[in-house]
């Protein structure tokens, strides 16, 4: 027997035409493409054997559900779909009907792509499992129902393989994450409000300064008005005396006017009144800005990414945090020109604020009460496909044994009431959501440096299992 | 005390508008008011001439009023020391006492109370 191995269906077909071929064994990935080539080869009148097919020549198929399978399927809390190699649903359970929004009879035999076509496409875990035969666990994806509504899901996919190792399909289990997503958003907001609480003291100080001088100026201006009224009533007396034509009285009134003007320092009064008004206006403008910044900061993002200037996000966050740290810290900024990044700007600001507040608290821990000053360095740059933001401090640093745990939820080394233990874990999930990474380098007693990499093109970080 | 009998008061705050407003408030109080926006400037004044009283802001860039007052006490131990702050944090009474801080004023201040507090602190015999 003479065996020829050809890795191109086109050339295989040509070979069938030019030579006497007794048997063609086809080993192609299942799918429409394979069906097309099988059809073409069969037309050449050659016996064709499909690799992975059963001995009788019928293609291998997923078996029908057995006696207990149905009970198991019906009573699972997770949604489950069994999907064949053509991506068609062969079995499903009630939670799957609920999430996909269709009855079982409307699901069976239909292509799963209709619901699972991921957006971005990389999220289509079912297709990836079919194509690569690799198992995915706990990936996040979205289902699009036929009415267009989208449901966030957590999905695990495993290939179904028969005893000969032939891929027969995929079993996918998934859960509706709508509620969990909502809780996540609430935790995010709660964490942000906690950080705003920390900011409040700093903001109060920043407002108390302009409030201090506006308040004092108003007191003085009220006194000035009293003095001016005295000057004006002296002017009025003089005017009346002149009107009466009483020269002696007018001379006397003029004398009193001079004395009042002298006593009240009216020239100074008038110029200082204008100055006090100007300064107070500037102060109220400052308060307006602070309140506006704070209000902006407490906003939540809309659900959509927007193109934003990361430098601006970092700078405006530093402005808000600055008052709480300026007595202990020298802030150095090294911003490089950055392309706009598709992001959730409010969430990024929250990351930057957490890093800045941590940097400050670390410096405070190290030098609080002494006469030293600490240093916080903010740096931005473009590195390959990423925008890089680094926040470095000269603070107390992180103990090596804690370094691996700092991004864990509820891990904190701060005193009770100072931190929620959610700051860095929030940073971590926000940065991941942006398709980025957050890393830290730290030396105990020397300081820490956090680096946030944000992808310039939109995209999520692939799950660790991928 | 300056030759005309007025008491000299050195006011230190990194916020020029605060200095300006304090000068306005104290205009008719009969003090000779000197101001500085920086601790360095204030220390130069203390090196150059005798001062009766110092009123310093607590939070200033890179330093605190407490640190400045401690340094001021070394240069002119007799100068009366007072602190003004817009910060909500509490400064332990023991620290204030240790530094001999005669008065702690919060921003925003009450006009009449500020004047009364300064009078009490600077001329205890008159009250």
- Asked whether residue A320 falls in the same domain as residue A433, the answer is yes
Please give the residue range of the domain that contains residue B22: 8-121
Provide the number of structural domains found in chain A: 4
> Is residue A62 in some structural domain?
no
* E-assigned strand segments in B8-121: 8-12, 32-36, 53-57, 59-60, 63-64, 80-85, 101-106
Report in angstroms the alpha-carbon separations of A25 from A17, A36, A37.
16, 15, 12
Which residue's structure tokens are 């006497």?
Answer: A20
Query: What's the complex ipTM?
Result: 0.87
Please give the residue range of the domain that contains residue A194: 182-296
For residue A220, give the nearest of B25, B61, B89 by CB distance.
Answer: B25
In chain B, residues with a C-beta closer than 8 Å to the C-beta of A204 are 86-88
Q: Are B107 and A283 in contact (CB under 8 A)?
A: no
Which residue's structure tokens are 């003007």?
Answer: A261
Distance CA B62, CA A373 (A): 6
> Is residue A257 in some structural domain?
yes
> Is residue B78 in some structural domain?
yes
Please count the residues of chain B.
Answer: 127
**C-beta atoms surrounding A3 within 10 Å:** 6
B87 touches chain A (CB under 8 A): yes
Describe chain B by its helix, strand, coil percentages, rounded to 5.
40, 25, 35
- Asked whether residue A143 falls in the same domain as residue A44, the answer is no
- Asked whether residue A272 falls in the same domain as residue A378, the answer is no
> Closest-CA residue in chain B for A215?
B108
Residues 22-81 of B with CB under 8 A from A: 22, 24-25, 27, 58-64, 67
Q: Are A407 and A461 in contact (CB under 8 A)?
A: no
- Asked whether residue A186 falls in the same domain as residue A172, the answer is no
Give every CB contact of residue A257 below 8 A, 6+ residues apart in sequence: A231, A234, A235, A237, A238
Report residue B48 CA to chain centroid gap: 17
CB contact under 8 A, B64 and A216: no
Most B-contacting residue of A212, A221, A225 (CB-CB within 10 A), to test interface: A212
Q: Are A392 and A233 in contact (CB under 8 A)?
A: no
- Asked whether residue A290 falls in the same domain as residue A332, the answer is no
Most A-contacting residue of B14, B18, B21 (CB-CB within 10 A), to test interface: B21
CB contact under 8 A, B20 and A213: yes
- Asked whether residue A193 falls in the same domain as residue A289, the answer is yes
In chain A, residues with a C-beta closer than 8 Å to the C-beta of B87 are 201, 204-205, 208
Q: How many CA atoms lie within 13 A of A345 on its CB side?
A: 18
Distance CA A30, CA A8 (A): 15
> Is residue B3 in some structural domain?
no
> Closest-CA residue in chain B for A208?
B86
pLDDT tens per residue across all 466 residues of chain A: 566 677 777 778 887 777 777 667 777 766 777 777 777 877 777 767 666 554 444 555 666 666 677 777 788 888 999 888 888 898 889 999 999 999 988 888 888 888 887 555 555 778 888 888 888 777 778 888 888 888 888 888 888 887 777 788 888 999 998 888 888 777 777 777 777 776 776 677 778 889 999 999 999 999 999 999 999 999 999 999 999 988 999 999 999 999 999 999 999 999 999 999 999 999 999 899 888 877 777 777 777 788 999 999 999 889 888 877 888 899 999 999 999 999 988 889 889 988 998 999 899 888 876 778 899 999 999 999 899 999 999 999 988 888 878 887 777 777 666 666 678 888 888 888 888 899 999 999 999 999 999 988 865 544 433 3
Provide the number of structural domains found in chain B: 1
> Is residue B2 in some structural domain?
no
- Asked whether residue A309 falls in the same domain as residue A372, the answer is yes
Distance CA A102, CA A112 (A): 12
A371 touches chain B (CB under 8 A): yes
DSSP per-residue letters across A34-98: HHHHHHHHHHTT--EEETT--TTSPPP-PPPP-TTHHHHHHH-SSEEEEEETTSBEEEE-HHHHH
> Is residue B1 in some structural domain?
no
In chain A, residues with a C-beta closer than 8 Å to the C-beta of B116 are none
- Asked whether residue A80 falls in the same domain as residue A149, the answer is yes
CB contact under 8 A, B21 and A212: yes
CB contact under 8 A, A213 and B59: no
Give every CB contact of residue A385 below 8 A, 6+ residues apart in sequence: A455, A456, A457
> Is residue B39 in some structural domain?
yes
Q: Are B99 and B66 in contact (CB under 8 A)?
A: yes
> Is residue A55 in some structural domain?
no
Q: Are A93 and A76 in contact (CB under 8 A)?
A: yes
- Asked whether residue A154 falls in the same domain as residue A215, the answer is no
CB contact under 8 A, A217 and B86: no
Edge-first strand listing for the sheet containing A329-335: A329-335, A374-383, A386-393, A447-455, A437-443
Tell me the three state secondary structure of residue A152. Answer: strand
> Is residue A460 in some structural domain?
no
- Asked whether residue A171 falls in the same domain as residue A186, the answer is no
Secondary structure element (H or E) that encloses residue A352, with its range? helix A345-367
- Last residue within a domain, chosen from A119, A142, A176: A176
> Is residue A36 in some structural domain?
yes
> Is residue B127 in some structural domain?
no
For residue A209, give the nearest of B15, B20, B88 by CB distance.
Answer: B15
CB contact under 8 A, B108 and A326: no
> Closest-CA residue in chain A for B59?
A327
> Is residue B103 in some structural domain?
yes
- Asked whether residue A237 falls in the same domain as residue A380, the answer is no
Work out the minimum CA distance from B56 to partner chain A, whole angstroms: 13
Which CATH number fits the domain that encloses residue B23? 3.40.50.2300
- Asked whether residue A313 falls in the same domain as residue A450, the answer is yes
């Amino acid at each position: 027997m003479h065996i020829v191995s050809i890795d191109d269906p086109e050339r295989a077909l040509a070979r069938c035409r030019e030579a006497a071929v007794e048997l063609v064994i086809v080993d192609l990935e299942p799918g429409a493409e394979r069906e097309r080539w099988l059809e073409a080869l069969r037309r050449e009148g050659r016996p064709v054997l499909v690799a992975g097919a059963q001995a009788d020549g019928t293609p291998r198929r997923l078996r029908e559900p057995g006696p207990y399978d149905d009970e198991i399927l019906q009573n699972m809390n997770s949604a489950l779909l069994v999907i064949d190699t053509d991506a068609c649903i062969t079995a499903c359970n009630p939670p799957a009907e609920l999430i996909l929004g269709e009855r079982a009879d409307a699901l069976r035999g239909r292509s799963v792509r209709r619901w699972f076509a991921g957006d971005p496409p990389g999220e289509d875990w079912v297709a990836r499992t079919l194509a690569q035969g690799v198992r995915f666990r706990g990936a996040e994806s979205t289902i699009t129902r036929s009415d267009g509504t989208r449901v966030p899901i957590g999905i695990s996919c495993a290939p179904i393989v028969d005893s000969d190792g032939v891929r027969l399909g995929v079993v996918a289990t998934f859960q509706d994450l709508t509620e969990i997503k909502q809780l996540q958003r609430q935790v995010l907001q709660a964490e942000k409000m906690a950080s705003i609480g920390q900011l409040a003291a700093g903001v109060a100080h920043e407002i108390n300064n302009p409030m201090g001088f506006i308040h004092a100026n108003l007191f003085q201006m009220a006194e000035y008005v009293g003095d001016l009224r005295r000057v004006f009533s002296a002017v009025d007396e003089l005017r009346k005396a002149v009107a009466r034509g009483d020269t002696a009285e007018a001379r006397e009134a003029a004398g009193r006017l001079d004395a009042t003007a002298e006593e009240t320092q009216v020239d100074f009064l008038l110029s200082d009144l204008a100055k006090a008004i100007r300064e107070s206006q500037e102060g109220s403008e400052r308060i307006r800005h602070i309140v506006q910044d704070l209000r902006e900061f407490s906003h939540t993002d809309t659900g959509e990414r927007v193109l934003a200037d990361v430098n601006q996000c970092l700078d405006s966050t530093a402005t808000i945090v600055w008052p709480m740290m300026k007595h202990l810290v020298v802030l150095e900024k090294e911003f490089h020109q950055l392309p706009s990044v598709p992001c959730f700007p409010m969430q990024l600001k929250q990351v930057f604020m957490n890093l800045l507040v941590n940097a400050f608290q670390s410096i405070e821990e190290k030098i609080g009460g002494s006469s030293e000053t600490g240093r916080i360095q903010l740096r931005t740059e473009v590195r390959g496909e990423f925008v890089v933001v680094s926040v470095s401090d000269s603070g107390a640093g992180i103990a090596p044994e804690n370094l691996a745990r700092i991004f864990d939820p509820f891990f904190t080394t701060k005193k009770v009431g100072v931190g929620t233990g959610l700051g860095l874990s929030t940073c971590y999930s926000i940065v991941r959501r942006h398709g980025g990474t957050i890393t830290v380098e730290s030396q105990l007693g020397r300081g820490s440096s956090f680096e946030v990499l944000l992808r310039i093109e939109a995209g999520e970080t692939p799950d660790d299992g991928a | 005390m300056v030759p005309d009998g007025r008491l000299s008061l050195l006011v230190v705050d990194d916020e020029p508008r605060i200095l300006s407003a304090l000068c306005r408030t104290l205009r008719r109080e009969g003090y000779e008011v000197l101001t500085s926006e920086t601790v360095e400037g204030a220390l130069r004044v203390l090196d150059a001439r005798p001062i009766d009283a110092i009123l310093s802001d607590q939070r200033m860039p890179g330093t605190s009023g407490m640190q400045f007052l401690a340094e001021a006490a070394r240069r002119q131990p007799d100068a009366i020391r007072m602190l003004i702050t817009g910060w909500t944090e509490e400064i332990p009474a023991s620290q204030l006492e240790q530094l001999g801080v005669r008065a702690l004023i919060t921003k925003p201040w009450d006009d009449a109370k500020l004047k009364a507090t300064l009078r009490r602190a600077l001329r205890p015999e008159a009250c």
